[in-house]
Amino acid sequence: MAELALVVLAAGMGTRMKSAIPKVLHKIAGRSMLSHVLHAGKELGAAKVVVIHGPDMPGVLQEARGVIPNCQFSEQRERLGTGHAVSMAKEALAGFKGTVLTLWGDAPLVKADTLRALAAKIDAKHRMAVLAFEAENPFGYGRMITKGKAVLDIREQLDASPAERKIRLCNSGYIAIDNELLWQIIPKLSNKNAKGEFYLTDLVKLANKAKTKVALATCDEMEVAGVNDRAQLSVLEREYQREARRAAMAGGATLIDPDTVYFSADTKLGKDVVVEPNVFFGPGVVVGDDVEILANSHIEGTVISSGARIGPFARLRPGAEIGENAHIGNFVEVKKAVIGKGAKANHLTYIGDAVVGAGSNIGAGTITCNYDGYEKHLTEIGENVFVGSNTSLVAPVKVGAGSNIAASSVITREIPPDSLAVSRPELIIKEGWAKRYRSVKKALKDAKAKGKG
């Protein structure tokens, strides 16, 4: 296969999104649509990647560089159609010899294999190829005008005849074209059509006039679906999640109720992982083998080692590292903290900016007081430490290995190894006090009632 260059169209305003955010930066499974497309393109090993963006879109440039650091950019100041958008890449592709693929920044479900198959259609006889799909409802799509396996033209909905509108084989918008042919014919595009725009689809007709055949590749309709509004965004989110759930189960994970589990694009699950209902995986989660994730847990930016047990109702925030066979229980929140092998925090606890040693037990209601109103501070708990319920650990503080902390203690300084730490007032008991108190209260109440009578 010839060298590849990708031209990614990402200049759309997305006015129907009703958002200050550029359309291509809206997210599917925790990743922007543009990033999804660029990740698919990255798998192709393209020699050049050119992103076409609109004015004042710094977020688009930043997002693209985050996936492909050496990508190039061309600005489309006037939005005069898809053909005009691709023409903006001419300078960036000067001197390139190979195949150009056009990608759409708002079509996040496209697969690298599909793009690779489209590019593979280019040969000596076919210097252009288009990607099409059978539409369930073709209304609004450009129709493929074919003769045998060759594509003669693409007719947009507004320009199609009644007979052409019955065609169900529709244009995806993706094309592969020899770079030399592209710059030979793109200047010949005309805007004499219903929309007054320069259509990229008209390249098909121009390629045929240039005596080259146009090949056809096909794919599933949903794979090339684009987004114009938030309703369509939700449809693609739902489709992505279906695929992600199927992939997780095919990879050896058990999802008790798949429809209630939500993945991010980069979620990684090991084998024999069990995920109960209503679990949400945000970006940056890696789960080892034999992990149990119980119902109603929210996990993001976390590495969970093999054999750990999470939840129910656990929240793991970015920077959490859960060791082998560790337990994080109900209503426990962990943020930017390392939980050692076999350590346990089973109830109603907050552990932030901390290191918890192997085998330690964190009692219910324990809090690492990591923030002083200005800065975050570290709590270090050694191995095999027992922390009693309702303990407050005021960071920065260290607790030595093998120590015990009595319940309801407030720890403000370092605890040596193998020590007992107790920090609470002496218990005072006054026998009979409660009975006398009730008698006084009753007498006052009776006197007040008699006075009113």
Residue 451 has a pLDDT of: 78
Q: How many beta carbons lie within 10 A of that of residue 422, not counting itself?
A: 11
Task: Please provide residue 167's backbone torsions phi and psi, each rounded to the nearest 5 degrees.
Answer: -70, 135
Long-range contact pairs involving 232-236 (C-beta distance under 8 Å, separation at least 24): 233/17, 233/26, 233/28, 236/28, 236/108, 236/109
Cis amide bond preceding 312, omega within 30: yes
Residue 205 has a pLDDT of: 93
The mean pLDDT of 248-259, rounded to a whole number, is 98
Would you place residue 192 in the very low, low, confident or very high pLDDT band (cuts 50, 70, 90)? confident
Maximum Cα interatomic distance, the chain, rounded to a whole number of Å: 111
Going 12 to 15 to 20 to 25, the CA torsion angle's sign is negative
Do residues 35 and 105 touch, judged by C-beta distance below 8 A? no
Would you place residue 158 in the very low, low, confident or very high pLDDT band (cuts 50, 70, 90)? confident
> Which residues does the annotation mark as catalytic?
347
Would you place residue 196 in the very low, low, confident or very high pLDDT band (cuts 50, 70, 90)? confident
Would you place residue 20 in the very low, low, confident or very high pLDDT band (cuts 50, 70, 90)? very high
Cα 232 from Cα 17, distance rounded (Å): 10
**Strand partners of residue 299:** 281, 316
What does the pLDDT look like over 297-335, one tens digit per residue? 999 999 999 999 999 999 999 999 999 999 999 999 999
- pLDDT cut 90: percent of the chain above it: 91
- CATH label, 4-224, candidates 1.20.950.20, 3.90.79.10, 3.90.550.10, 3.40.50.720: 3.90.550.10
User: What are the residue ranges spanned by the domains of the chain?
Assistant: 4-224, 253-421
Would you place residue 449 in the very low, low, confident or very high pLDDT band (cuts 50, 70, 90)? confident
The letter for the amino acid at 323 is G
What does the pLDDT look like over 89-139, one tens digit per residue? 999 999 999 999 999 999 999 999 999 999 999 999 999 999 999 998 999
What does the pLDDT look like over 338-376, one tens digit per residue? 999 999 999 999 999 999 999 999 999 999 999 999 999
pLDDT beyond 70 at 274: yes
What residues contact residue 212 under an 8 Å CB cut-off, 6+ apart?
125, 126, 127, 128, 181
Cα 44 from Cα 120, distance rounded (Å): 11
Average pLDDT, the chain: 95
Determine which helix (DSSP H) or strand (DSSP E) holds 268, and give its type and residue range.
Answer: strand 268-269
Least confident among 273-277, 385-389, 446-450:
446-450
pLDDT beyond 90 at 434: yes
What residues contact residue 285 under an 8 Å CB cut-off, 6+ apart?
264, 266, 267, 268, 299, 300, 301, 302, 303, 304
Cα 319 from Cα 297, distance rounded (Å): 16
pLDDT beyond 70 at 228: yes
166, with CB counted inside 10 A (0-12, 13-18, 19+), is: exposed
Cα 148 from Cα 81, distance rounded (Å): 29
- The CATH class of the 253-421 domain is mainly beta
Do residues 100 and 200 touch, judged by C-beta distance below 8 A? no
Do residues 241 and 30 touch, judged by C-beta distance below 8 A? no
Residue 453 has a pLDDT of: 58
What does the pLDDT look like over 27-85, one tens digit per residue? 999 999 999 999 999 999 999 999 999 999 999 999 999 999 999 999 999 889 999 99
Joined tokens for residue 21:
């955010």
Cα 71 from Cα 47, distance rounded (Å): 10
